[in-house]
Chains A and B, each alone.
Chain A
Amino acid sequence: MTQYVLRRLISIPLLLLGVATVAFFLSHFTQADPLSALVSERQMNNPEVVAAAKQRWGLDRSVPEQYLIYIKNLVTGDLGVSFRTRRPVLADIAERLPATLELVIFAMLFGTVSGIALGVLASRFHDRIPDYLARLLALLGSTVPVFWSGLLLLYLFTVKFGWIPGPGRLDARAVAPPFVTGLLTVDALVAGQFGTFLNALHHLLLPSFVLGWSVTGIISRLVRASMLDALGQDYILAARAKGAGEARTLLRHALPNAMIPTLTIIGYSFAYLITGAVLTEAVFAWPGIGSYAVDSARNLDYPAIIGVSLIGATAFLLTNLITDVAYAFANPRIRLE
Chain B
Amino acid sequence: MNASTLGVQQPGVAPRVARFRYTKLGKIRFTSHRDVGRMWERALRKVALAVAYTSGFSPRPRIAFGFALPTGAESLAEYVDIGLALDRSHELSDIPSRLTPALPEGLEVTGGVIMDAGSPALQAAVTCSTWELNPISLAAGRPSPAAPDRGAPPTLAMLAERLDQFMSSRTFEIEVERKGTSVPTDIRPGVLAAALNDDGVITCDLSAKGTRPGDFLRALGADPLEARILRTQQWIDHQGGRAEPLAPGAYFAPPGLTEIFREEPIDVRSEPVPAFAAAPPPARHAGRT
**Chains A and B are bound partners:** no
B interface residues (Cβ-Cβ under 8 A, vs A): none
A interface residues (Cβ-Cβ under 8 A, vs B): none
